[in-house]
Structures are given as C-alpha cells and as structure tokens.
Amino acid sequence: MYPPSRLKDAADRIRERRSVRAADILEPGPSETEINEMLEIASRVPDHGKLGPWRFLIFDGDSRQEFGELLRNQFAKTNPDSSEAILEREYSRFMRAPTIIGVISKVDPASRIPEWEQVLSSGAVCQNLLVGASLMGFAAQWLTEWYAYDEIIAKALGLTENERVSGFIYIGSAGEKPAERGRPDLQSRISKWCPA
C-alpha cells in the first residue's frame, strides 16, 4: 500500500507546529549533514514541468556578520537619520540564529508553466523547510523583512532578473515551547462547491 499507514508523530507535529521567533532561536544549529537532509526535504515539492524554480543560499558562521555589514550600510543609506542602536540592530539580524537559509524563487519566463505556479513551488519549498526542520527537532521561522525587497541587497545576494527572495528561514534550537497563536477560523474558510 502506498503511502503506508499514517505516521502519527509527524502528523501531530505538523498539526501543532509553531514558528519560534528569530530573536528566541538559540545555538546549536543544524550540522552540515543535517542541513543537507533539510534541503532534501525542502526540495521534495510539487514542481510542474520539473523546472526546479528555486535555489538555496546558506548563511552560517562568519558569513552572517559579513551580511550584517551589508544590511547596516544599506539601512544607513536609506534611513540616514538612524541612531547607532538601530544600525546595530540591522547589523545583528543574521546573528539571531545559527543558520539562515535563503530560499530564492527562480522563474523561467520562457517556460510554458505559468509564473504563478513556479512561484508557488518556491513557497512550498519554504514550508517544507520549516516542517523538515521541525520534524528534525529544530526551531525555525520564515521571515522576509525589508532586505528581501531591497534592490541593492538583491544584487549583493547575486539575484538575477527573474529571481526573488521567497524567504529567509532562520533555523536553530529553542528554549521554551512558544505559546499558541490565534489561528484563522478554519470552518468559515471551508465550503463545498455546488453548481449555481
């Protein structure tokens, strides 16, 4: 039988999954082997036309500080009145977690597959990465913040014309279980289609 019987633990973990705020994410982060396993899980997404319309950018160790310098400089340029404390916060953004994985949507405009579907596949990668991290015992949060939408930062990230940031997935460990968050009312979002 495929798929085989229900994996209850995984189903429960996904049903109860919560993001851990980047500011609350701690060491240790995933090892290189664990990161590779997470990326395998993340990339196991539906992908119409087998385009693989996404890629990953990994930040760990010193690259987080180096990226922080870029964030601080760019933020100072666009917000010239910022205090030193604000600029320090920008510098420290990627120090909030041991590992940050940027998921980059990479659309092929010449493909017969609609752009919308290519972008959705990249969103599925982000969610699989969150779920994979959770199932592997790691805390994670999907953030974009201002630097996902800044053209200068996009250049520094090496993004090309048809690439955009789908998300930065902050990954590490958690101290306490996060409190439950209000959820959209499910029942009001469910209906059965009937012919008019």
Q: Which residues contact ligand FMN by CB under 6 A?
A: 18-19, 141-145, 167, 181
Q: Closest Cα to residue 121, out of 38, 43, 39? A: 43
- DSSP helix/strand/coil, 88: helix
CB nearer to ligand FMN: pick between 12 and 32: 12
> Of all residues in this chain, which one has the CB nearest to ligand FMN in the complex?
19
CB nearer to ligand FMN: pick between 19 and 43: 19
Residue 179 CA to residue 63 CA, distance in Å, equals 32
- Residue 42: CB atoms within 10 A of its CB come to 23
CB nearer to ligand FMN: pick between 35 and 125: 125
CB of residue 148 to ligand FMN, shortest distance in Å? 7
CB of residue 15 to ligand FMN, shortest distance in Å? 12
CB nearer to ligand FMN: pick between 10 and 36: 10
Q: Closest Cα to residue 41, out of 103, 110, 133? A: 133
Contact 99, 35 (CB under 8 A): yes
CB nearer to ligand FMN: pick between 15 and 181: 181
CB of residue 196 to ligand FMN, shortest distance in Å? 33
CB of residue 141 to ligand FMN, shortest distance in Å? 5
Strand residues in the chain grouped as ranges (E): 25-26, 54-60, 99-106, 139-143, 163-174
CB of residue 13 to ligand FMN, shortest distance in Å? 13
